[in-house]
């Protein structure tokens, strides 16, 4: 117990010192950055099987070791059974539902249990950190200025203060399983659960974003992807809406087909080990009703009153900006007993 307290005090005292250089941003948002200049012919949409679940993944490039799930979760390619591949600019959106239904008939969800993950809504297929220790390393901490560096530590300190998780920064060449933090030009993303993964952070990643990405590192998926979401969220886009969005984006000089394909991939459901825990509208793991980074798409959807989803009563969902909620904390304790 004394070791746990000393560890948290160390992280938080260090964090407090760094916070002198930091500030928090009130950034409301939603989906992954899918700007048109980011959609190259190298990107691919993949239907893949992982832990018995059929999902849509985005492949950024052939050189990467990870596929992107739900916009900002990095999944090792080695853990995904690739079933079908589409070039993002040749993607036939109208046929994706039939393809997914075909593959779902051939697979049933596996329930591989990693320790106490069965008591929480940890993402299916994610493994817990041994002893509740999460290890981070910086690929090159000099790539981050003082304010960014302080914000990262502030987010880690927030998790250490609010939950039973323990965190340690280790050298990049450490033999321990760890999440390596990289500075990127755009977007925020992180590997899910224990293992040698990456956290990619850019200038758009504020305190709330980093707390969110640490949630992925701990093992959580998105609140809006939980199987029970239809009891709490509604007004998801229909095929007619997607066709309207595609045509609108094309008229505005954007890659409508690719934007729609990635939008749909970002809103797919994902299995969790236990979905009985309360749904949380204020969870740090929930997106807002409007896209965050693609301003052209966000403005188009707002003009046409087409949020990506709403509460059951039709109210819009704003992205929370105050970190972990009591339910987020309870879910963490349930997973890491």
**Catalytic residue set:** 213
Instruction: Give one word for 115, left, alpha or beta, with left for phi > 0 and alpha for psi -120 to 50.
Output: left
Residue 202's alpha-carbon distances to 152, 293, 296, 334, in angstroms, are 11, 12, 20, 31
- Residue 148 near residue 210, CB atoms below 8 Å: no
Measured distance CA(266)–CA(129) in Å, rounded: 26
Contacts 24+ apart (CB under 8 A), 233-236: 233/309, 233/310, 233/311, 233/312, 233/317, 234/309, 234/310, 234/311, 234/312, 234/314, 235/307, 235/309, 235/310, 235/314, 236/267, 236/308, 236/309
Match 């920064």 to its residue by tokens.
169
Burial of 140 (0-12, 13-18, 19+ CB in 10 A): exposed
SS3 of the chain: helix, strand, coil, percent, to 5: 40, 20, 45
- Residue 28 near residue 288, CB atoms below 8 Å: yes
Measured distance CA(297)–CA(142) in Å, rounded: 34
């Amino acid at each position: 117990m004394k070791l746990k307290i000393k560890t948290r005090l160390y992280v938080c005292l260090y964090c407090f010192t760094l916070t002198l250089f930091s500030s928090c941003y009130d950034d409301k948002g939603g989906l992954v950055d899918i700007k048109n200049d980011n959609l190259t012919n190298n990107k691919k949409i993949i239907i893949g099987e992982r832990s018995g679940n059929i999902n849509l993944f985005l492949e950024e490039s052939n050189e990467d070791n990870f596929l992107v799930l739900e916009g900002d979760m990095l999944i090792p390619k080695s853990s995904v059974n690739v079933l079908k591949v589409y070039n993002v600019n040749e993607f036939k959106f109208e046929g994706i539902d039939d393809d997914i239904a075909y593959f779902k008939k051939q697979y049933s969800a596996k329930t591989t249990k990693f320790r106490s993950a069965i008591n929480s809504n940890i993402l299916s297929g994610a493994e817990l950190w041994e002893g509740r220790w999460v290890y981070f390393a910086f690929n090159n901490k000099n790539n981050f200025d003082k304010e960014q560096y302080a914000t990262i530590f502030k987010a880690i300190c927030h998790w250490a203060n609010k939950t039973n998780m323990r965190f340690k920064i280790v050298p990049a060449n450490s033999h321990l399983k760890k999440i390596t933090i990289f500075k990127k030009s755009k977007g925020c993303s992180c590997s899910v659960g224990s293992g040698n993964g990456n956290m990619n952070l850019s200038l758009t990643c504020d305190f709330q974003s980093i707390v969110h990405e640490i949630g992925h590192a701990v093992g959580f998926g998105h609140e809006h992807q939980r199987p029970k979401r239809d009891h709490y969220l509604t007004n998801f886009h229909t095929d007619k809406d997607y066709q309207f969005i595609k045509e609108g984006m094309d008229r505005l000089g954007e890659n409508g087909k690719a934007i729609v394909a990635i939008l749909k991939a970002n809103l797919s459901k994902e299995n969790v080990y236990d979905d009985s825990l309360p749904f949380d509208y204020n969870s740090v793991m929930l997106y807002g009703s409007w896209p965050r980074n693609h301003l052209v798409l966000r403005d188009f959807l707002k003009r046409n009153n087409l949020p990506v989803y709403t509460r059951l009563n039709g109210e819009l969902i704003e992205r929370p900006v105050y970190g972990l909620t009591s339910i987020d904390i309870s879910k963490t304790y349930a997973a890491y007993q």
